[in-house]
Structure 1
Amino acid sequence: MLFHVRMDVHLPRDLPAGERDAILAREKAYSQELQRSGEWRHIWRIAGAYANVSIFDVADNARLHEILSGLPLFPFMTIAVMPLLRHPSAIRDDDT
């Protein structure tokens, strides 16, 4: 199943720099592992915001929830999820 996910990050200003850096390093490693596996298909930054739009290709809602709640930045995020379906006018076979 494909999902469009917007993630807005809201790190506390008083978060110690060392703790912030450790969380960000874990986040990067975790997300890149999921990208290599193919479950996190695309990620784009949103200009002017500490946010991204991502496309996930996962087995079901439960797997998406598991991935998102496992993000080290999850406690600091506002997340919006939209399930996606193939459009009948789509011409690419590899976007399912």
Structure 2
Amino acid sequence: MANRNIEKAAQLAPIVERVHGGHHPELTRVREITQALHQADNATNTPALFQELRAVTDNYAIPNDVCEAFEATYHALERADKQQQAAA
């Protein structure tokens, strides 16, 4: 399941967590889920991971107080989620 969107999000998630984690504690779980998706070599658990990701991120809602990397992470995850749903 390692696609470009997941790869991008996996690179950005730890940085975004470090910068914004104090105000957005959900980013720890976003990073963990993103890493799990990046490491998943089959699609068996990815629907559940994306479902949790939608819940944790409030359907990828971008807060007002964040940087472009935060936005890019959520956009990449949302695109990957849509790809996964289309493939299912």
Normalised TM-score (structure 1): 0.30
Greater RCO (CA < 8 Å, at least 6 residues apart): 1
Determine which structure has the larger strand proportion and give its number: 1
More helix by share: 2
User: Who wins on radius of gyration, i.e. which is larger?
Assistant: 1
Normalising by structure 2, report the TM-score.
0.32
